[in-house]
Every structure is written in structure tokens, then in C-alpha cells.
Structure 1
Amino acid sequence: MDDSDAIRKRNADFGKSEYGCEHYRRRCRIRAPCCNNVFACRHCHNEATSSLSNPKHHHELVRHNVSQVICAVCDTEQEVMQVCSNCGVKMGEYFCSICKFYDDDTGKNQFHCDECGICRVGGRENFFHCPKCGSCYTISLRDNHHCIENSMKSHCPVCYEYLFDSIKITHIMKCGHTIHMDCLKEMATQNQYRCPICSKTVLNMSDVWNELDEEIEDTPMPEGYRSEVSILCNDCNKTCKAPFHILGFKCSQCGSYNTRRISGGHGS
């Protein structure tokens, strides 16, 4: 590398990771074409507009529509490009001309997915695009997940944030529905083990089911309460007969206690 190359690189790297917002480290701001205001990133825009007092003014920025950016180092407004046309600074170490996206933190291993139409993080080699679900999933889920059409193009069933372009970590439950990982963990702390959408068991409940087996065996129902009930299992979606017990009804098909009584039994 000669002196001129070294100078260009030094200029391009100036201020790296020193500028940005809580969402991204980047050396530029964006002009929102929808309202003509300047923001550090689209998330800053969306947070600001969603808090406006007049609901009619609430709106979200379409990332692909951004056409103007402002260099954070020299304050020059210009068309979308990676290197500032005035001072030569690289406005984002990672740059996507399709998403108009800048980020200095390349440790996220960003990549653009043409099928999703947006940038993802985590490394292209670690993901595949599922055309039916309509999103990128980790390689471990290839041929190992229940497909639901456009399952990621929906809202988190707990916090109701749109999942497809959320910056929070998402999780594909065994039933195929998606949820924020933090929301799933919060459900677990509240002893909520069912999918909020389809009611199937999404956590490993084998220890709980075994404990229920033991408790039911140790506490038989009084003679007048011994009967059978018809139940529907939320997990295997089958109906069957089960002994009535106040602690729960066990599915004879799959062994789950995630069931509900249809008819019969004491008090029916």
C-alpha cells in the first residue's frame, strides 16, 4: 500500500464506531422521504413518529425509499452511497445499496437476502431462505421445522411487534409460529407453555407431565367422582377418553396434559 492508498484508507475509516444511535454505529443520518425530516436511522424515525400526539401523523419509514443521506462527519447531504462525496469518509463499513443500510459494526456478519428483500445478520453461510415461511432461518431448521405460509410476516403474538424486520431475536416454535425470544422467555416465567396462536405445547413439558402422572396416581378421586370424560388434545388435535381428575386430563394418544374437556365427567 503506497502513501496515497494509506491516506485514503485513513480518511475512509475516520470516526468509525464513534457516530450513530442506540440502534446502529454509522457515520451518516438519513432524510426520511415520507416526512422530509432527518433521523439517525429508520428505527429512530419510527419511534419518533409513533409517539406523536396526533395518531394521523403516525407512520413508518420504508427503507428502500431513502434517497438522501447526510454525512455525520462533514454534514454534507448527498445521494445514497457508501463513501461521502465531500470528505471521503466511509459512512458505513457495511453498506447495502438496496436497503439503503449502513452499519460500522461488521461483527454482526450482515448480508442481504434477495428473497427476503432486506438485510439480515448472522452470516449468509449460517442461514437458508424458506420460500413457504417467507424468511431466512438458521441452517439447523432446514427440513426440521413446521412450515406455515409467511409465518414471519406477522406480528409477535405477545408484544405485537412486526416480526419480519424486527431487530430483536425471533424464535420459531415447534408448531411453526414465530415469536420474539424474549417474549417466549417471559411466557416461561409466567408458566405459560402454550403457543398463544394455536395452543400447542411449545416448551419441553415432559418433567411436568411426569410429575402430574405421579400426583394423580397418589391422589385417586373419591368413588363418586370416578368417571371418564371426552377430551380434545391441543398437541395432537385428537379426541379421546380420559379418567376425570381435578389435576388434569391426560391424552391417551400422545401423553400430553395440554387438553380440554369436551363432555362427560363430574359436573357435566
Structure 2
Amino acid sequence: MEQQHQQDSALTPLTKPKDFGKSDYGCEHYKRRCKIRAPCCNQIFPCRHCHNEVTSNLSNPKDHHELVRQDVKQVVCLICNTEQQVAQVCSNCGVNMGEYFCDVCKFYDDTDKGQFHCEECGICRVGGRDNFFHCKKCGSCYSVSLRDNHLCVENSMKNFCPVCYEYLFDSIKGTTIMKCGHTMHMDCFHEMAGQNQYRCPICSKTVCEMSAYWRSLDEEIQATAMPEEYQNEVSILCNDCNNTSNVRYHILGHKCSHCNSYNTRRISTPDNQ
């Protein structure tokens, strides 16, 4: 340890190797060898997410604000503590303050995540440029597996997750596009599915493969006769195909006559038929 300290101290400004201290510094969001000075409040933070977490918890709601990443002008090197203009290499000690660096987003990261800057999104993405394409109608980058294979909803990513209400466009969490075209966090989608919630929270359309469950309902309804006083017709609206049907009332559910979905809702009652 003492020998290592002597070697480190012998490295004078502009003589440290560029990878010195790689992955040894940073925060829970990014490994990087610098902090940023937030121009909005003139405070120093490890990254913009750290800034936003602190400011969103301030006691006065009027003080809540988010950092605009492109506005950052000054950074502080964590190796030599020199504050300087945004650049990849420290002007004093010569280390890379981030192995990945984007001058547009003022973004540094020592961990290889396949980062790339999307000009149309205007921000950096992760996962490898060759693995993504930019959907102009949806307004965001999606996996190439979804090219010509998803329902476009205009600016669907420039909205809040309907479960946790975090802004999706620049969220660091993984997202998924549902069959209806609306978008939400992948974790939120799995949590919703785990609670047997199969409808999109935005449009109420079915977002999972439900054909096996519909067949099971067919069998249950056929095996469960309703009392004579409830054997009336009701009008239903299908959330999936938006058609209306007149069907026999049943407490277990009502099947759309057009698409066979049970994702329906009554628009009349047995009493007023």
C-alpha cells in the first residue's frame, strides 16, 4: 500500500495515465472521475440524477427543479480536484474523466454500456447503436426487433410511465412497448402482470396473450348457469375492438361478439333491458 502511494504521488500533473482511477470513482448511477457543477443552483453533484434526487426532496416545492444536462459548463476532476470547463481529459492531471464522453450531453461514464448519442433524440442512449433505430413518430430509439413491428403512438416515449409516473424519455430504466403502442417501464409492466392486471393503464386494451384465459372463461361460464331472474341481455363495449354487443348477462364476464375478448365493460344493466 505504501509503495502504491509513493507511485501515485510521483505522478505529477499531465503525467498520470488516462485510465488512472478508472471505475474507482462515481456514484450509484455512473462510474466516472468527475463531478458536475449544476448551473441552475451552482452546486456540485456526482451526476444529474443525484442532483434531481436532492432537489426533488427539498422542503419547499418551489425549489424543486431538474438539471438540463446540456447546460453543464464546469466539472471537477475527482483525481486532482481541479474545476474546469467540460472536456473528456482533465486539463491538470491528464486523466480521462470518463472513458465514454459526450460533449453534447456533458455525459461521462467509465462503464462500457454500448453508449451512443442519438441526434434525433438529442441525448445519449445505451445498448449499442447497431441494436437500435429511431422511430420518428414515437419520438425515441427502440430495439431493431421492433422496426416495422410495433404500433406507433405519436411521442409515446415523451410521457410518464402510467404506473410509477417517472418521465420515460430519459429514464435510465428499461422500457417496453405494449401491444396497444403505449410505453411503460419494463419493471412496472412485470409488476402489473404479476398482479393479474392485463389491461393498459392508459387505453384499457389487452396487453398480454389472453386467449387461453378466454377459453377457460368460456368453460366456466358454460358450466355456471345464472338464475332465471338474471338471464337477460346487456349491452357491452369491448375495450379491445371498440365494438358494442348485446350478450347474455353473466357474473363471470361478458364476451365480445366481434373479437371474442372478455376485456369488456357493461354499458347497460339487466334491469333496464
Mapping of residues 8-19 of structure 1, within 5 Å: 11-19=17-25
In structure 1, C-alpha distance between the alignment counterparts of 2:227 and 2:56, rounded to whole Å: 58
1:222 offset after TM fit, Å?
2.5
Structure 2 residue aligned with 1:121 = 126
Mapping of residues 44-59 of structure 1, within 5 Å: 44-59=50-65
* Structure 2 letter corresponding to 1:178: T
In structure 1, C-alpha distance between the alignment counterparts of 2:182 and 2:68, rounded to whole Å: 25
**Structure 2 residue aligned with 1:258, among 260, 263, 267?**
263
* Structure 2 letter corresponding to 1:156: C
Mapping of residues 83-102 of structure 1, within 5 Å: 83-102=89-108
TM-score by length of 1: 0.94
The answer to whether the 8 Å contact 1:244/1:266 transfers is no
| SS class of match (2:189) | helix
1:114 offset after TM fit, Å?
0.2
Structure 1 residue aligned with 2:111 = 105
1:10 offset after TM fit, Å?
6.6
In structure 1, C-alpha distance between the alignment counterparts of 2:65 and 2:40, rounded to whole Å: 8
The answer to whether the 8 Å contact 2:16/2:94 transfers is no
Structure 2 residue aligned with 1:210 = 215
Unaligned runs of 5+ in 2: 1-13
In structure 2, C-alpha distance between the alignment counterparts of 1:64 and 1:253, rounded to whole Å: 51
Structure 2 CA distance for partners of 1:267 and 1:191, relative to 1, 3 Å: farther
In structure 2, C-alpha distance between the alignment counterparts of 1:40 and 1:264, rounded to whole Å: 59
Q: What's the % identity of the aligned pairs? A: 73
**Structure 2 residue aligned with 1:154, among 145, 159, 180?**
159
1:160 offset after TM fit, Å?
0.7
Structure 2 residue aligned with 1:143 = 148
| SS class of match (2:18) | helix
TM-score by length of 2: 0.92
Structure 2 residue aligned with 1:4 = none
User: 4+ residue stretches of structure 1 with deviation over 3 A?
Assistant: none
Structure 1 residue aligned with 2:138 = 133
1:180 correspondence with 2:208: no
Matched residue count: 260
* Structure 2 letter corresponding to 1:233: C
Task: Give the CA RMSD over aligned residues.
Answer: 1.4
| SS class of match (2:268) | strand
The answer to whether the 8 Å contact 1:169/1:181 transfers is yes
Structure 1 residue aligned with 2:11 = none
After alignment, is 215-224 or 49-58 more displaced?
215-224
Structure 1 residue aligned with 2:240 = 235
Unaligned runs of 5+ in 1: 1-7
**Structure 2 residue aligned with 1:35, among 38, 41, 44?**
41
1:140 offset after TM fit, Å?
1.0
In structure 1, C-alpha distance between the alignment counterparts of 2:52 and 2:269, rounded to whole Å: 53
1:266 offset after TM fit, Å?
4.8
**Structure 1 residue aligned with 2:202, among 197, 207, 217?**
197
| SS class of match (1:95) | strand
* Structure 2 letter corresponding to 1:228: E
After alignment, is 240-249 or 33-42 more displaced?
240-249
